[in-house]
Structure 1
Amino acid sequence: MKRRLLIGALGATSILIAAGVWYLHSKQPQRSGEQALAGLQAPVSVRYDERGVPHIQADSEADLYRALGYVHAQDRLFQMEMVRRLARGELAEVLGSALLPTDRLFRSLRIREQAARMVERADHQSPSWQALERYLDGVNAWQASHPRPVEFDLLGIAERPFTAEDTLSVAGYLAYSFAAAFRTEPALTYVRDRLGAEYLAIFDLDWQPDGAVPPTLAAQDWRSLEGLARLSRQALGEAGIAQFEGSNAWAVAGSHTRSGYPLLAGDPHIGFAVPSVWYEAELSAPGFNLHGHFQALNPFALLGHNRDFGWSLTMFQNDDVDLIAEKPHPTDPDQVWVDGRWQALRHTQQRIAVKGQAAVTLDLRRSPHGPIVNDVLGDAAGAAPIALWWAFLETENPILEAFYQVNRADSLDKMRVAAAQIHAPGLNLVWANARGDIGWWAAARLPVRPPGVNPTFILDGSSAQTDKLGFQPFSANPQQENPEAGYIVSANAQPAAAQPIPGYYNLPDRGRQLQRQLADPHMAWDVHNSQALQLQTATDYGPRTLAPLLGTLRQVAEGVEQRELVEQLAGWTGDYPLDSTSATLFTQFLYELAYAALHDELGDTWFDMLVSTRAIDAALPRLAADADSPWWASRGSAQATDRTAIVRLAWQRSLAHLGELYGSDPNGWQWGKAHTLTHRHPLGQQKPLNLLFDVGPFAAPGSHEVPNNLSAKLGPAPWPVNYGPSTRRLIDFADAGQALSINPVGQSGVPFDSHYADQAEDYVQGRYRRVRMGVIPAQSTLRLLPERR
């Protein structure tokens, strides 16, 4: 009897295993054989290389884009579904009520309404629009004819067609993810209005710019702004969707390269996730060829090259968002004082579906300045409506047409024309061609604000400081074409301009590190020494922040061992290799210094907000150098403090924290133990699904604002990396067929596929793979055929 039961149990187990294997196999991409695809006019060849990148050969652009949509969907349909739901405020329908705040935020941004307007005014007969429609036809054809992805089954996602409004909504999410104002403006306004003028010095900001009057905000309004800033920061992270943060790109003229032809390098810095943000594909049709990096639901490459030209992107970081505190009517909360009179707020209602619960009705209000964004907080919102002026909502922004042209821009003139059509988000396009040209264009519509208005702060809606006097012409934007220096570097720092351009720029350290070496007249650049430049893990930031504090650290260090640690920091070059212990100690000390100096004034929420902005990077070196800064005095403490006291506290806390985590021997505090990279899948947040879907952890070299910008939030160790190079590309136009690239995880977003994580180890180790172009040694070939009639 027991034997029969055992045999039965083994049989049942075998059946379950077989069913599981069959189930997972049914979800895998098809990369060989033949498949009918409705709408094709002729057969299309899709050859897959060893990385799983499709090389699509078609007889027409219509068939080319239809095939791209089809193969993109089979590798990334779940990513497409999640990113459109995020952009359109529809995540709670599949992830539950925990995502309601995120949905409310994205509904309040009015992205979906703007996408609808963009669809209405588009030229539906233009080649770019026709390409978009054919691409979406391919996406929808795959979805309609294949089993749903595993994630759809687990979450109960119902299939529905993808539309042009979805694609343009994703463009809005892209613009939002660049916009630092949602976090930075409330935090810096709080410092100005609640702490005082002297506290702004470390941010290099004026107390009251000429002609600007701060809005009057009550305590409830500040709590409302706390909630808005916190929600903005959490929105993307909780959805598991990659956020855009910064980038490196450079172009070197042939006079400075070993081959005598221009060289292009680029590595956009974006939040890590599974699948990775970029989908690679080579597209070939009569008169058109491009190896591109594509985003979900976009048929046009945002990064790309062929044998004639190529380009990369960095984030401009211009300030294209104003938060505006409206003055409400004393008795009617639906009226605000604008342009010298009371004006009514406009209302619209929307319903948000919630998984397992009744739908929620959202009342959205809009002032003459833009949508009211703090309404998303419900009863927690203050009396002052906070309006949003955003260039994405206020410009025509033909961004799809722009990138259709960028994908074909083989000359300086063509690239300039294409760049001028990018209004939001602000982007730097760094470009080169095989004929010897290099160029850079800061692409954005820059608003002209009244003199003296500083948009770093929340503006007063009842005053003229919120006016927009038009937009700067594109010809006045920062740009370079074939500069005499022979190279171009873009690394998110404030560009040189006749008048400073408001923005939330990265520090210049990373760009200076790149520029110092590219300016070396004795260096002949090629893809090999360019790899070393992309992978560098040092800048001056650490040593220049420490320099004014070393005397104090020597004073507060206790005993021989601590003094030795201080001297190691004094000799540290600002490098972050895996075996460095000084990198670990400095990073912990930097956080403890920030916390001990700033937290007592800011409290939990505002401190957390501030250290998540770029403003903190510039503030901490200034704070360290200013012994008289008011931040050194501890509020609420009976004991007076100064810089020495705060440095002593931060130093001792740093040693105690690292000792508790990694042992009492500082030789065990290696950077690679504390600084790790895990690529997280949206479902990995629900344990134990992380064991199935996440990739990592890996010990990670590099750090915040070094060329190999593997960045973690400023905080206590350990430091999980949250963004960094989303790809690394190197193209020498002597032979673009020998270009190099790497994907942080893998080409496929399908769990258990062989290309799901096959590049992850190479990526973190700093290895590259060759970019195949043209007739390639295919690993497999899929033939897409017209349907028989």
Structure 2
Amino acid sequence: MKRTTKFFVFLLLLLAAIAAALSWHVHSKQPQRSGELILAGLQAAVTVRYDEFGVPHIEAQNEVDMYLALGYVHAQDRLFQMEMLRRLSRGELAAIFGPKLVETDRLFRTLGIRAHADAYAAREFAQIDTPAKRALMAYLDGVNQFQDSRPAPLEFDIIGIKKRPFTPADTVSIGGYLAYSFAAAFRTEPVLTQIRDQLGSDYLKIFDLAWRPDGVLRQQLRPGDWQDLGRLARLSQDALEAAGQPLFEGSNAWAVAGARTVSGKPLLAGDPHIQFATPAVWYEAHLKCPGFELYGHHQALNPLALLGHNDKFAWSLTMFQNDDVDLVAEKLNPANPNEVWHQGQWQALQSREELLEVKGAAPVKLLLRRSKHGPIINDALAGAVGETPVALWWAFLETENPVLEGFYALNRADSLAKGRAAAAQIHAPGLNLVWANAAGDIAWWAAAKLPVRPAGVNPSFILDGASSEADKLGFLPFAQNPQEENPARGYVISANHQPAGALQVPGYYNLWDRAERLDSLLRDPSIKWAAGNSKALQLDVQTGYSQRVLKPLIPLLRQVPEQGLVEEMAAWDGAYKTELRAPVLFQQFLFELARLALQDELGETVFNNLRLTRALDHALPRLMADPTSPWWDKRDTKAVETQAEIVAEAWGLSLAHLRQTFGADAKSWTWGRAHTVTHGHPLGLQKPLDRVFNVGPFAAPGSHETPNNMAARIGPAPWAVVYGPSTRRIIDLARPAESLGINPVGQSGVWGDRHYADQAQMHALGQYRNQHLAEADVATHTRSKLSLLPLR
């Protein structure tokens, strides 16, 4: 008995010692937000005051010191995020995660982001001759000083990551990742081309794309080519999910002139829609030095705010969704597999070798090829079975793209002329800048370098590299880009919809329902805008999309069982509120309809790729409105099925799935139960680490393409929210010190820190917090002070 007692006492002491050691280990990695630290390279002392949500308010005596300090404090909150984004964009994840990330690395090496970034940095940073370059170098110095002087993040220990310096090429590489994540063409062009060339014009009608017989590939793609393209489309999505990094999807932003606001000054609101993750994509920082002040939202390894405001001006971003990527099928020389036909002659493919390090396995040697049109993306696939090289023309690789200089200027753009000039320097990815200043101006600029394609070319499809249709005739001058300055209606709005105007810019635009919902309220002259009703508009969960889909189907649904549920869905106003059941019925029914109608023609793989595109969103209302569409007939039966039969079958399958998933009691089928958001950490992809590092789940109102765009993919219930408002900001330029914002998770990416997830519940509930700008507010809300001192 005594031995048993001693053993348990020993075991308890051992467990206590282990717990204490783990606690000390975690504590040693927490950010230092008070006291004094010495940083090499500082010219004078820098003060960093942290507010109640962990936002640093940095005050320096000069710009270089300010950005050096930002790099240091950003790194101590987000170093692991910086490391992951660097490795993802440069194709270096397999070196720490092993063979399961080889496919992801192959893709990003094939895209050429790493090689392009290295060449760009070597060329542009040979001389540090501009303020923007000096800002980046100072910022990276701060990041590296933190990394060199402090314990590695917990994730570094778990994974076994070795520290190495961060460079300008890493920042450029992450910029390439952002551009890639916007590019819907990777997932859309192969699917649409396959429908066009294998099924024909009748099947293409629901996508509302011009049917051009001369646009069909003159060299027909073979089954192996289609198989490879399907794998590439899927890989382009899986690569991001496998790394647990955010995908950029869409956004809302609007600016209202002073004549339409309560305060008499312009008001700006914005909420970029980005895939949810832990840590959150944005890092907030208030920067101040003589001649400069900005409250900004920053991304990893970037000293320049992509969103920001001060007492003079404010801006937000949305994704332009312009098509700046073309897939080009090359004609291979049958006598020489290293040559393709271009401009009337056989031209040699360029090639290079890269070595891909793999943890726990031998390195993988990659042979990467390039035609005149761009990288051969088939090289991303190990064991490709196709015979046709497909090249990638991408504006990110083909333009000067002085985006660093552009955002440096935008961070200081307090006038229309300065804002316009800054926007002109952003070539890729395409962005909408929505801007306002305290002087009374409002504006929207579509920022992108828009290529001029030959007449009649539809870039929604894979282009024929053997002809001239894949050539580019130059780029439009920025003055011809869609844009508005101080329109008479008194507001500008951007919601990823296709811009109106004489210039039709090819793109993969979002549904217009979200823009129409926002515009229907903003255009009402009786409404004066202030923070309160701007919040309500950002949090609005209404859409007209469900009515557009259901209207032609209601007569058919009135012939099926469970009429009580049918009438509930028919009477639904399209509001995605957590307590409602109608959204659950609609979303499951929509998926079953799409699957029954399309999957038998496309096959499961292509159908699942189509589900990841915006093209399906646009196609479904047209399909529902056309009872004669050939999509309704099932190819694997002798009978010719009707729309009514498919609708009845989809309704039955929907109810069966909901009963199996949520139980027989239909009262429990509420949107808040079926639709939830979890902020996933890269390590949370592996059980049981998901319970440690992930944040959530939370019941989520809103849906795909409502103003509160808490979006889930078309699929079977339950629905995990994939992306949504990555922040919600409201700035009234009459009172910029009272601006509002929110972070979906928290400022810190350090597990165990009090700011790791202190805003997650607030975000889920639609709450806001103050973004402190005025000195008196900063002083009142300071919770700790860190002094950064120069090395003497």
TM-superposed deviation, 1:10: 2.0
Aligned 8 A contact 1:214 1:459 in 2: no
CA distance in 1, matches of 2:747, 2:596: 44
Opposite residue 163 of structure 2, the aligned amino acid is E
**In the aligned structure 1, how far is the partner of 2:447 from the partner of 2:642?**
45
Is the 2:255–2:442 contact (alpha carbons within 8 Å) kept by the matching residues of 1? yes
Contact 1:350 1:362 in 2 (8 A): yes
Taking the TM superposition and a 5 Å limit, the aligned residue runs for 1:704-719 are 704-719=704-719
> Are the aligned partners of 2:263 and 2:530 in contact in 1 as well (CA < 8 Å)?
yes
Report the 3-state secondary structure (helix = DSSP H, G, I; strand = E; otherwise coil) of the residue aligned with 1:357: coil
Is 1:192 aligned to 2:186, yes or no?
Answer: no
Aligned position for 1:6: 8
Q: Does residue 676 in structure 1 map to residue 676 in structure 2?
A: yes
Identify the residue that residue 614 of structure 1 maps to in structure 2.
Answer: 614
1-structure distance, mates of 2:505, 2:675:
34
Q: Is the 8 A contact 2:482 2:503 kept in 1?
A: no
Counterpart in the other structure of 2:245: 241
* 1:249–1:267 CA contact under 8 A, matched in 2: yes
Is the CA contact 1:268–1:725 (under 8 Å) kept in the aligned structure 2? yes
The C-alpha deviation readout for 1:38-97, integer Å capped at 9, x for no partner, is 111111000000110000000000000000000000000000000000000000001111
CA apart distance, 1:139 = 0.0
> Following superposition of structure 1 onto structure 2, how do residues 310-349 of structure 1 map, counting pairs within 5 Å?
310-349=314-353
| 1:163 and 2:167 are equivalent in the alignment | yes
Equivalent residue, structure 2, for 1:549? 553
Q: 1:523 aligns with which of 506, 515, 527?
A: 527
Task: State the alpha-carbon separation in 2 of the partners of residues 662 and 236 from structure 1.
Answer: 30
1:507 equivalenced with 2:511 (yes/no) = yes
In 1: Cα distance, 2:415 partner to 2:53 partner: 31
- The answer to whether the 8 A contact 1:600-1:635 is kept is yes
Q: Which residue number corresponds to residue 361 of structure 1?
A: 365
Q: How many residues of Structure 1 are paired with residues of Structure 2 in the alignment?
A: 784
Residue 636 of structure 2 corresponds to: 636
SS in 2 for 1:634: coil
Q: C-alpha offsets along residues 132-183 of structure 1, whole Å, 9 cap, x if unaligned?
A: 0000000000000000000000000000000000000000000000000001
2:51 to 46, 49, 52: 49
Q: CA deviation at 1:215?
A: 3.9
In structure 1, the residue matched to 2:646 is: 646
Distance in 1 (CA, whole Å) between partners of 2:257 and 2:725 is: 24
Residue in structure 1 matched with residue 438 of structure 2 by the alignment: 434
Q: What is the alpha-carbon distance in structure 1 between the residues aligned to residue 113 and residue 292 of structure 2? A: 33
Once residues 480 and 118 of structure 2 are traced to their aligned partners in structure 1, the CA distance between those partners, rounded to angstroms, is 31
| Aligned equivalent of 1:139, options 139, 143, 161 | 143
Distance 1:746 1:499 in 2: 41
Amino acid at match of 1:31: R
Could you list the per-position Cα deviations for residues 374-424 of structure 1 after superposition, in whole angstroms to 9, with x for gaps in the alignment? 112132241100000000000000000000000000000000000000000
Q: Residue 765 of structure 1 aligns with which residue?
A: 765
Alpha-carbon separation, structure 2, partners of 1:243 and 1:215:
34
How far is the alpha carbon of 1:762 from its aligned partner? 0.4
Q: In 2, distance between residues paired with 1:474 and 1:185?
A: 26
Find the aligned partners of 1:449 and 1:137 in 2 and give their Cα distance: 42
Q: Residue 574 of structure 2 aligns with which residue?
A: 574
Contact 1:430 1:490 in 2 (8 A): yes
> 1:727-785 CA deviation, whole Å, 9 max, x = no partner?
00000001100000000000000001000000000001000001111321201000011
Take 1:9 and 1:567, find their aligned partners in 2: how far apart are those partners? Answer: 63
Where does the alignment leave 5 or more consecutive residues of structure 2 unmatched? none
2:590 matches 1:586: no
**Paired residues of 1:375 and 1:381 also in contact (CA < 8 A):** no
Q: Give the alignment of 1:453-468 within 5 angstroms.
A: 453-468=457-472
> Which residue in 2 is equivalent to 1:263?
267
Structure 1 letter corresponding to 2:339 = Q
Q: Distance in 2 between matches of 1:62 and 1:51?
A: 26
Which of 376, 381, 389 lines up with 1:377 in the alignment?
A: 381
Q: Report the residue type matching 1:207 in the other structure.
A: W
Cα-to-partner distance string for 1:695-733 (whole Å, 9 max, x where unaligned):
000010000000000001110000000100000000000
- Alignment match of 1:299 (pick from 303, 326, 329): 303
Residue number in structure 1 paired with 2:702: 702
Paired AA for residue 91 in structure 1:
L
Q: Distance in 1 between matches of 2:91 and 2:714?
A: 29
In 2, distance between residues paired with 1:721 and 1:264?
26
Q: Is the 8 A contact 1:419 1:441 kept in 2?
A: yes
**Residue type matched to 1:39 in 2?**
G
Whether the 8 Å CA contact 2:197–2:216 is kept in 1: the answer is no
Which SS does the other structure have where 1:466 is aligned? coil
* Percentage of matched positions with identical amino acids: 61
Matched with 2:736 is 736
Give distance in 2, aligned partners of 1:210 and 1:378.
Answer: 33
In the alignment, residue 67 of structure 2 is paired with which amino acid? Y
Report the counterpart of residue 232 of structure 2 in structure 1: 228
Task: Name the structure 2 match of 1:39.
Answer: 41
1:351 aligned onto 2:350: no
Give me the whole-angstrom Cα distance separating, in 2, the residues matched to 1:477 and 1:400: 20
Residue 604 of structure 1 and its aligned partner are, at CA, apart by 1.1
2:40 is the counterpart of 1:72: no
TM-score relative to the length of structure 2: 0.98
SS of corresponding position for 1:363: strand
416, 422, 425: which is aligned to 1:418? 422
Counterpart CA distance in 2 for 1:78 and 1:213 is 45
**CA distance in 1 between partners of 2:218 and 2:724 (Å):** 37
Q: Report the Cα offset of residue 661 of structure 1.
A: 1.4
Of stretches 655-664 and 319-328 in structure 1, the one that deviates more from structure 2 is 655-664
Residue pairs, 1:276-287, within 5 angstroms: 276-287=280-291
Cα RMSD, aligned residues only:
1.0
Q: 2:372, 2:254 → 1: CA distance? A: 41
CA contact (8 A) 1:215 1:459 kept: no
Q: Distance in 1 between matches of 2:168 and 2:248?
A: 22
* Alpha-carbon separation, structure 2, partners of 1:115 and 1:64: 26
Deviation at 1:329, TM superposition (A): 1.0
1:265 is aligned with what amino acid? A
Structure-1-length-normalised TM-score: 0.98
Report the Cα offset of residue 131 of structure 1.
0.4
More deviation in 291-300 or 3-12? 3-12
Partners of 2:262 and 2:529 within 8 A in 1: yes
Q: Secondary structure at the match of 1:323?
A: strand
Q: 1:691 to 1:294 in 2, by over 3 A?
A: same
Q: In the alignment, what sits opposite 1:202?
A: 206
Q: Distance in 2 between matches of 1:212 and 1:126?
A: 48
Deviation for aligned residue 1:210: 5.6
2:749 is the alignment partner of 1:749:
yes
2:438 partner letter: A
Please say if 1:469 is aligned against 2:473.
yes
Paired position in structure 2 for 1:92:
94
Q: Deviation of residue 214 (structure 1)?
A: 4.6
Q: Distance in 1 between matches of 2:306 and 2:489?
A: 27
1:453, 1:42 → 2: CA distance? 58
| Contact kept? 1:371, 1:387, Cα under 8 Å | yes
Moved more, 770-779 or 651-660: 770-779
Q: Which whole-Å CA distance do the structure 1 matches of 2:466 and 2:364 have between them?
A: 32
Query: Which residue identity does 2:592 align to in structure 1?
Result: E
CA distance in 1, matches of 2:404, 2:652: 54
Separation in 2 of the partners of 1:680 and 1:141?
Answer: 29
